[in-house]
Amino acid sequence: MNHFLFGACYYPEHWDRSWIQADAALMAQAHVNVVRMAEFAWTLMEPARDAFDFGLFKEAVASLKAQGIDSILCTPTATPPRWLTAEHPEWMRVDINDVPFTHGTRQHCCTNNPGFRAESRRITRAMAEAFKADAAVIGWQTDNELYCHVEECYCESCQVGFREWLALRYDQSIEKLNHAWGTLFWSQQYDDFDQVVIPKKWRQPAPCNPSALLDFRRFLSDSVTAFQREQVEILREVNPDWWITHNGVFYNIDYYKFAEDLDFLAVDVYPAFWGTKPEDFIGGSQLNERCRQATGTYIVPEQCGGPGGQIDFLQPTPEPGRMRLWAYQSIAHGADGMLHFRWRTCRYGAEIHWHGILDHDNVPRRRFEEFAQEGAELKKIGADILGTTKRVEVGISHSYEQDHAQGVLSFSRPQPDAQRELLLGTLMRQKVAVGYVNEADSYAGLKLLIVPSAIVMDAERAEKIEAFVSQGGVLLVTATSGQRDVNNHAIEQTPPGLLSRVLGITVEEFGKTEHRRMQLQGAGLEMDANYYEIIQCTDAEPLAHWHFEQNPQTEAAEGCVGLSCNEFGAGKAYYLGTFLNEASAMELMQRLCDVADVQPLGRSDTNVCIIERYAADRRLTFVLNNYPEPKEVTALACGQNILTDQSCDGTLQIEPFGVAVIRS
């Protein structure tokens, strides 16, 4: 990026062509410097096979550039035209009940179908060739929100693709697959890969093979990554100067791997999905973190421009100031571009009430004024933001592999994703520099690493965790970690297996309660729980023990260790034999931050967020007030509020839904 991106999603195909120049002029008044276009316009650009007509978008790109506005184009493969789907009904996705999808929505064609892939490559190349010499087109988005609506498909192409993927994964050896899936259980052995069918978790007389389900999820991620890669290769071949992204993030895609083909990832953020109470900020924060952990730098191609709504729902209307606040929330987490959805609310279709910057009548009102304020501010401070990265001193380990391994055998226990969100919210409320860190990434620079329920463990990962602690890091690992291998098989060693050395423990037993009150007590902690693990300390020090209020003599865990700490090299490794809740998380996180010498970035009310981005020559402290009333913030880094050009002596008053950016 050579400047901070600010703009909106634009759909000239929904309006008369005569509106384009007026739209461009009004966008320029709001300091827009980029728009995103064409992700759903395949039919318009190719009304009949090979009858390409890119005239509307060429006109739009030119008119926008005349006002100083660049364009991001999208491959339109989420919405193939009817003439194409009518020719090939076999290209449709098939649901778990073996019912094919029909035309009239989006993402209805299977991205694993060879014929549809060929058509996707064809339209991608045609678009790329049409715009390859246009300097106003600065980048591309592949498709649109892959796996947003549906992830699984059970069509014949997926059956074939899954078998081919398995054969490649297991070196053409059905014996290796049988071993990896443990097919001796329930006499599931296969004689060759052609016998394998996609497992259907909810459509069987008894539970499916969990290792098969895990491999199917891996296949879903790898296959959609391959679908995208075909488009990326064409775009890079036609014009290597374009940058390329994709707008996530959804489930069943390992974005850390998916984004290796991209220049950076992107994420669509609609915080109203989680609500508009002050405490609901965590929904948007965790979504931004899921994107940032994959590529570091990212942009937001869609941020709310008004209340979102489709056929069966309408979100709360954001109060004045909310749109700007939510935009800065993403920027604080690391976004280097901010586009709002959409420029103008469409007058027809499934999103007739998914509101944009302008309403149906095209009259600029308060949302436009707020949008323009945001544009003016980002034009002013964008150069300060670019080149900075989010400070993370407390890392929360993120892994889709862990999510999938737990998800196929959840036992109704808190999943890693839910634990991450709880911990992220808790630590953000304590105003420390916290963020998600992919488990494949470096731990350099972290003071505290939290590993929530890393049930799958291998030697490489265990050694990296050991190195982090031995070099002085503080580690917290939570229940169920280290219990399985990469095939999702229970290991033969006593848990936590490969983590036993760094943690200095073994886990002798686990269980759950439903009607009896159970507490973990000791070291000044007292936390309620309904799941326990009995810890045997081999080298670690016991910190807290299990206690049952009623009939404790009948409980196996009574008096046993549930929280431990092991000094390992220059660091400390804690193990918690249960799952945290809001009350217990706040207390334990504060204690661990003290041990790791993690200092808050400032002080204020619970749901005022303080987030830092930094570079070698500057710190940017973002202060975000999620309350509808003013708040005082203290203990900030001294400097200048670059939004207002006022100096900050470490204390400031921030208005309702207000934002401050302190440069120091």
- Rounded Cα distance between 118 and 121, Å, is 5
**b/e burial code for range 598-619 (CB count within 10 A of at least 16 → b):** beebbbbeebbbbbbbbeeeeb
How many residues does the structure list for the chain? 664
For 250, the token pair is 């959804």
Choosing from 335, 362, 383, the residue where a domain stops is: 383
Same domain, residue pair 446 and 580: yes
Same domain, residue pair 566 and 584: yes
Quick check: 202 pLDDT over 80? no
Same domain, residue pair 260 and 128: yes
Domain-embedded: residue 118: no
Which 8-state DSSP code applies to residue 600?
A: P
Give percent of the chain above pLDDT 70: 100
If one counts the domains in the chain, the total is 4
Q: What is the pLDDT of residue 206?
A: 86
Same domain, residue pair 460 and 434: yes
Q: What is the pLDDT of residue 311?
A: 86
Quick check: 251 pLDDT over 90? no
Quick check: 203 pLDDT over 70? no
Domain-embedded: residue 111: no
Q: What is the pLDDT of residue 188?
A: 96
Domain-embedded: residue 327: yes
- Rounded Cα distance between 609 and 614, Å, is 16
Please report which helix (H) or strand (E) contains residue 509, including its range: strand 505-512
pLDDT digit string, tens, across residues 94-121: 999 999 999 999 999 999 999 999 999 9
Same domain, residue pair 416 and 322: no
Q: What is the pLDDT of residue 583?
A: 87
Q: Which of 157-171, 201-215, 526-540 has the lowest mean pLDDT?
A: 201-215
- Rounded Cα distance between 263 and 514, Å, is 49
Mean pLDDT of the chain: 96
Domain-embedded: residue 560: yes
Quick check: 574 pLDDT over 70? yes
Q: What is the pLDDT of residue 370?
A: 98
Same domain, residue pair 164 and 139: no
Domain-embedded: residue 538: yes
Give the residue carrying structure tokens 């070099």. 471
* Three-state DSSP class for residue 510: strand
Choosing from 347, 363, 383, the residue where a domain stops is: 383
CATH number for the domain spanning 647: value is: 2.60.40.1180
Q: What is the pLDDT of residue 1?
A: 83
List, edge to edge, every strand of the sheet that includes 639-641.
389-390, 608-615, 618-625, 659-663, 639-641, 646-648
Q: Quote the strand ranges of 213-342, DSSP E.
A: 243-245, 247-248, 265-267, 298-304, 309-310, 313-314, 335-341
Q: Average pLDDT in the 26-43 region?
A: 98
Quick check: 514 pLDDT over 80? no
Quick check: 51 pLDDT over 80? yes
- Rounded Cα distance between 99 and 88, Å, is 16
Catalytic, 302? Answer: yes
Domain ranges, residue 243: 5-76+123-150+233-383
Same domain, residue pair 522 and 637: no
For 389, the token pair is 């990265």
DSSP string, 432-499: --EEEEETTS--TT-SEEEE----B--HHHHHHHHHHHHTT-EEEEETTTT-B-TTSPBPSSPTTGGG
Quick check: 608 pLDDT over 90? yes
Quick check: 641 pLDDT over 70? yes
pLDDT digit string, tens, across residues 276-291: 999 999 999 999 999 9
Quick check: 589 pLDDT over 80? yes
Q: Which candidate in 145, 370, 533, 555 is catalytic?
A: 145
First to last CA, the chain: 23
Same domain, residue pair 146 and 161: no
Quick check: 41 pLDDT over 80? yes
- Rounded Cα distance between 276 and 113, Å, is 41
Domain-embedded: residue 90: no
Q: What is the pLDDT of residue 217?
A: 96
Catalytic, 289? Answer: no
- What is the band of 563 on the pLDDT scale with cuts at 50, 70, 90? very high
Q: Which candidate in 302, 377, 393, 466 is catalytic?
A: 302
pLDDT digit string, tens, across residues 389-412: 999 999 999 999 999 999 888 777
CATH number for the domain spanning 354: value is: 3.20.20.80
Same domain, residue pair 404 and 367: no
Domain-embedded: residue 224: no
Q: What is the pLDDT of residue 150?
A: 87
Same domain, residue pair 260 and 338: yes
Domain-embedded: residue 95: no
Q: What is the pLDDT of residue 215?
A: 97
Same domain, residue pair 139 and 276: yes
Quick check: 524 pLDDT over 90? no
Same domain, residue pair 61 and 184: no
Choosing from 355, 383, 411, the residue where a domain stops is: 383
**Which pTM was predicted?**
0.97
